[in-house]
Structure 1
Amino acid sequence: MHEAYERLLAAANLRSSDGAVRITAEYEPLGGAGSAVFPPTVKITAMDAAGYLIEPRYVGGAREDVVLLDQRQSQANRCEAALLDAVQRGEVFLPHLALETESAGVAVRVTSLDAPHRSRDAYFRDAVDADGVAFDRTEAGLALRDASAGDVSAYLRLVPSDLAYGVWDSHRKRRIQVKIPRAYSSEMIGVAPLVGVRAAGRVDRLNLTGETVEVTESGWAPSADGKLAKGTKTAKMSALGHGMIPPSEGLGGVSVTGVQRCATLSFAQLAALRFGPLGKELAAAGRALVAAIALLGDRLAFASPALRLRSGCDLMLVGERVEWVLRGRDGRPGVEALEVASPQEALALFEVALERAQAAGLEWAREPVVVRPNASLQQAIDKSYMIAGIGEAEGE
């Protein structure tokens, strides 16, 4: 693994002919080729209704329609979730932020590996340390706040995964905001989608009527005489989870000729990272360490034989290539196999990268930076855990 690290070190600093790592994979639905899979539903602006994201692309040199099965942000989140799981299992440690509290007897924990805006999320902006000091005024908070394009060393020390997946400090009103592009990118598509339909309805076990009922803070009640007083809050029983709902046409997933994933690790972006006063040796090792984190996240998230994207979208891995992408010749890039296919191999590479960075002087935390919500955020969290009255049933 030391040989792979030396090549990664040179590549992450653009000192070799390697320009990227590319991972391409093919999948098949659990039901077999052609069986339906369910993409994420989005609101289509043109028709103001739910639909799937379908667009034309070139696939294998031919123009094809493709459906987006998992976008870049979601794929990055899957890598971060896999890294967090590994941290919680004690297999590896990555410095990160953790907001911890309790609400309604339930332990609540949000980390920079699962917060929407990573370490720059509003959860941490609205947090305080054990002494009640606002996070942005603590040593760690100030270091992250004051980082710039010319010095992201605080991120390497406190939240290194942010450098792999990208971060934007959009929750703080500053004329100059930290904005670090992602070095790792991945997405999944289905090729030549045929959109299906399905009937969605509800059968009531006791065949309750679908009448309109009165809704109060304490619950709901049908009218004894079938009449409701004017101004009374009302709802259909079907909206409260009772009664029959006649079947109606809904989105039924897609049938595709193939499912593809393509992930890339950009050495040009890693080489663009600047670490201010850190020496050249540590800066170079830091870039390689970020690359190793990205590869570890990918292998933890996607090396398994099966993958679940969401309900109705379970996939089997049928082929995969992990490759170095080299400077091209005759109009085509060169490719060579990268022998880091399993999580175990990726972890071994990460350990070598961390050892080398620490030997060069990297300060690597052994515990997360733990904060708690401020009073306003705690109140909002508590409100989310309150049970108040009857809600309307949502569709599947």
Structure 2
Amino acid sequence: MDGYWVTAKGLQVRDIYERLLAAASLRSNDGAIRVSAEYEPIGGAGDTLFPPTVKIKEKETEGAGYLVEPRYVGGEKVEVVWLDQPQSQANRCEQALMDAIRDGSAYLPHLMLVTESAGIPVRTTNLQAPHRSRDAYFRDAEDAAGAAFDMTEPGRALRQASSEDWSAYLRLVPSDLAYGVWDSHRKRRIQVKIPRAYKSAMIGVAPLIGVRGAGRVDPLNLAGDTVQVSGSSWTPIEGTKAPKGAKTARMSELGHGMIPPSEGLGGVSVRSVQREASLAMAQLASLRFGDADEEFSAAARALVAAIALLGDRLAFASPALRLRSGCDLVLVSERVQWVQRGRDGRPQEEPLAVNTVQEALALFEIASERARAAGLEWSAEPVELKPNASLQQAIDKSFLADGVGQAEGE
């Protein structure tokens, strides 16, 4: 029976691939794939969650706060608080894909910047850099021979790509086609811009904003006096005033002394936590690959779709999710669905049986095989680069201890 189940499952995934192949080129009624999920705090419904803090303008002053906005949820106008924005959700998917590459469960071509500083290995990839393959880290990188990355064959190919031919991105950094990229770090009149095909976001519905008292207790009850700071050391000030021109700081700024409790942001309590993700077939269908034939183009679009689905499942299929400290969640329910052309005033939805990481991996493998059969060539190794002298110097500086830092929150 196990062998029959595996065979049946394999056939089912191949059927899903064929449907995805047609959808990604808009050759069917499927217009999108949508994931709708509901979570609750690990402490139970209504427990406090901590959204990301941002600087907000309120009454002409700036301070820390949460992003709250009105929205229609289930046809009802309510306030929602952002728990995780699309950029952050995409980063979670990309990190999950990078983890899969490292553990050998999947492989995607990528750029890798490799160096070390202060004896510590340092590396980043286009799956981790803020601007993906177009990030300044790669603009300021070079190959083993010392050639600037933009002047190498892979660098030129990415720089010269356009909306008529994204084949270089497909060959070198295919995840960029799923999550979008903007080449804002290179001065050009016409910049590379690839809209995201995959989007995900998490909100808390009807937030009640909480408060908490934030302070510090010093076990030795050191006085919170002003001290003189010099480089990486500090000394108490003799007398009542510091010498003229001396750099000073409060003890609390250096991590010592008492800080009386004061009111601070205390998280939120929400009616529900919702995640909505989508994969846009219209964006996938807009991807062009130069003079490649339709078989290659269709297989390439389906492969990008499979990468997006794999990233989503790797990042979000687990029963629990940590967004940040104080924002741990458990999955309550989830629907992965095809969204089709509407009928009777409503879009039609059908279940899509790609719920687990294993199913997404199987779909990705089929998509990869079909793309290779259509003519796609992927290198088995990443494009490895090193920082140029200026970037290396900046990296080295970031690893040096230089003076006394300021305590968090001061």
Indicate whether the TM-score tops 0.5: yes
In structure 2, which of residues 341, 366, 391 is the aligned counterpart of residue 327 of structure 1?
341
Give the distance between the partners of 2:247 and 2:292, measured in 1 at CA.
64
In structure 2, which of residues 35, 46, 51 is the aligned counterpart of residue 34 of structure 1?
46
Structure 2 residue 213 is the aligned partner of structure 1 residue 160: no
In structure 2, which of residues 292, 303, 312 is the aligned counterpart of residue 298 of structure 1?
312
AA partner of residue 165 (structure 1): Y
Partner of 1:362: 376
Superposition deviation, residue 226 in structure 1? 4.2
Partner of 1:45: 57
AA partner of residue 223 (structure 1): I
Superposition deviation, residue 165 in structure 1? 0.1
Give the distance between the partners of 1:368 and 1:130, measured in 2 at CA.
13
Give the distance between the partners of 1:218 and 1:126, measured in 2 at CA.
31
3-state DSSP of counterpart to 2:64: strand
In structure 2, which of residues 30, 33, 39 is the aligned counterpart of residue 21 of structure 1?
33
Flag as ranges the 4+ runs of structure 1 deviating above 6 A.
Answer: none
Q: Deviations over 1:186-213 (max 9, x none)?
A: 0000000000000000000000000000
Q: How does 1:310-321 map to 2 (within 5 A)?
A: 310-321=324-335
AA partner of residue 114 (structure 2): E
Partner of 1:2: 14
3-state DSSP of counterpart to 1:45: strand
Q: Deviations over 1:80-99 (max 9, x none)?
A: 00000000111111000000
3-state DSSP of counterpart to 1:48: strand
Partner of 1:264: 278
Give the distance between the partners of 2:242 and 2:385, measured in 1 at CA.
51
Structure 2 residue 247 is the aligned partner of structure 1 residue 233: yes
AA partner of residue 25 (structure 1): A
Q: Deviations over 1:244-272 (max 9, x none)?
A: 00000000000000000000000000000
3-state DSSP of counterpart to 1:174: coil
Superposition deviation, residue 223 in structure 1? 2.2
In structure 1, which of residues 90, 105, 119 is the aligned counterpart of residue 133 of structure 2?
119
Q: Give the TM-score of the pair, scaled to structure 2.
A: 0.96
AA partner of residue 268 (structure 1): A
Paired residues in the alignment total: 396
AA partner of residue 26 (structure 1): E
Structure 2 residue 334 is the aligned partner of structure 1 residue 351: no
3-state DSSP of counterpart to 1:9: helix
3-state DSSP of counterpart to 1:357: helix
Identity of aligned residues (%): 72
Q: How does 1:130-145 map to 2 (within 5 A)?
A: 130-145=144-159
Superposition deviation, residue 278 in structure 1? 1.6
Q: 1:188 to 1:218 in 2, by over 3 A?
A: closer
AA partner of residue 324 (structure 2): R
Superposition deviation, residue 151 in structure 1? 0.5
Give the distance between the partners of 1:268 and 1:112, measured in 2 at CA.
25
3-state DSSP of counterpart to 1:201: strand
5+ residue gaps, structure 2, are: 1-12
Shifted more, 40-49 versus 377-386: the winner is 40-49
Q: Deviations over 1:238-297 (max 9, x none)?
A: 000000000000000000000000000000000000100222111110000000000000
Superposition deviation, residue 218 in structure 1? 4.0
In structure 2, which of residues 362, 385, 388 is the aligned counterpart of residue 371 of structure 1?
385
Q: How does 1:148-297 map to 2 (within 5 A)?
A: 148-297=162-311
Shifted more, 331-340 versus 215-224: the winner is 215-224
Q: Deviations over 1:318-341 (max 9, x none)?
A: 000000001010110000000000
Partner of 1:68: 82
3-state DSSP of counterpart to 2:402: coil
Superposition deviation, residue 224 in structure 1? 3.5
AA partner of residue 54 (structure 2): V
Superposition deviation, residue 230 in structure 1? 1.5
3-state DSSP of counterpart to 1:205: coil
Give the distance between the partners of 2:336 and 2:318, measured in 1 at CA.
14
Give the distance between the partners of 1:206 and 1:334, measured in 2 at CA.
66
Give the distance between the partners of 1:223 and 1:170, measured in 2 at CA.
49
Give the distance between the partners of 1:252 and 1:340, measured in 2 at CA.
38
Q: Give the TM-score of the pair, scaled to structure 1.
A: 0.99
Superposition deviation, residue 365 in structure 1? 1.4
Give the distance between the partners of 1:223 and 1:337, measured in 2 at CA.
70
Superposition deviation, residue 49 in structure 1? 1.0
Superposition deviation, residue 231 in structure 1? 1.2
Partner of 1:56: 70
Partner of 1:96: 110
